[in-house]
Chain A
Amino acid sequence: DAGVTQSPTHLIKTRGQQVTLRCSPKSGHDTVSWYQQALGQGPQFIFQYYEEEERQRGNFPDRFSGHQFPNYSSELNVNALLLGDSALYLCASSFGTGGIRTIYFGEGSWLTVV
């Protein structure tokens, strides 16, 4: 049973470029959330996708956007990259939304912006 898988594992981008990160949820899960973890910080909620729609959003600018596909996989897109976007991006999945649910995190994608 595959857990949450993310790609790529590491990548380096230049300021101003755009990046797309990908996530496949754990088998049986239909909800995907994205978190940003900067160095020395805890993960910060970016947004959540359920039924191919953005359901909840954290305090991130519109440069951060996402998508969920019919197979429940998801993409995180970041436009006009800034140095401050350098972080570990974590994808988490669960079944359904709201309530008490165990969410499972992937290993993350390390983004370095130079």
Chain B
Amino acid sequence: DQQVKQNSPSLSVQEGRISILNCDYTNSMFDYFLWYKKYPAEGPTFLISISSIKDKNEDGRFTVFLNKSAKHLSLHIVPSQPGDSAVYFCAAKIIVYDKIIFGKGTRLHILP
């Protein structure tokens, strides 16, 4: 039972344009959401997070949007850069627990 779903296995975006990665979740108990970035041969690296009490969080070029009623979140990267090419994992947790539930990931290709 996939509680966190990333329905796009891959996404290609032109350098300089906006990259939008989408994620859906099914467990209404989740109250904290995270995005991780993973390069080959490296472990996942924390990118940005959002609490369920917010609907938007920005950090530089990265913005995460949360729509609780739709159980949907998205990660926007503006502008996209070549170094952004990686696998992005959407993840969710219940704050009092440490267990993080990950989606399957979306591979982002930034095209020159």
Contacts and interface: CB of A to CB of B under 8 A. Distances in A.
Chain B, interface size: which category?
20 to 34
Contacts of A48: 98-99
A4 interface: yes
Contacts of A98: 95-98
Interface in B76-112: 89, 91, 95-105
A33 B98 CA distance: 9
Interface residues of A, number: 29
A108 B46 contact: no
B35 to A, nearest CB: 12
B48 to A, nearest CB: 11
Contacts, number: 59
Contacts of A104: 43, 46
Q: Is the interface of A mostly helix, strand, loop or mixed?
A: loop
B90 to A, nearest CB: 8
A41 B36 CA distance: 14
A15 B104 CA distance: 26
Interface of A: 4, 31, 33, 35, 40-45, 48, 55-56, 58, 90, 92, 94, 97-108
6 contacts: A42-B4, A42-B91, A42-B102, A42-B104, A55-B98, A108-B43
- Which 6 A-B residue pairings sit nearest by Cβ, starting from the closest? A105-B43, A42-B102, A45-B99, A43-B102, A105-B44, A42-B104
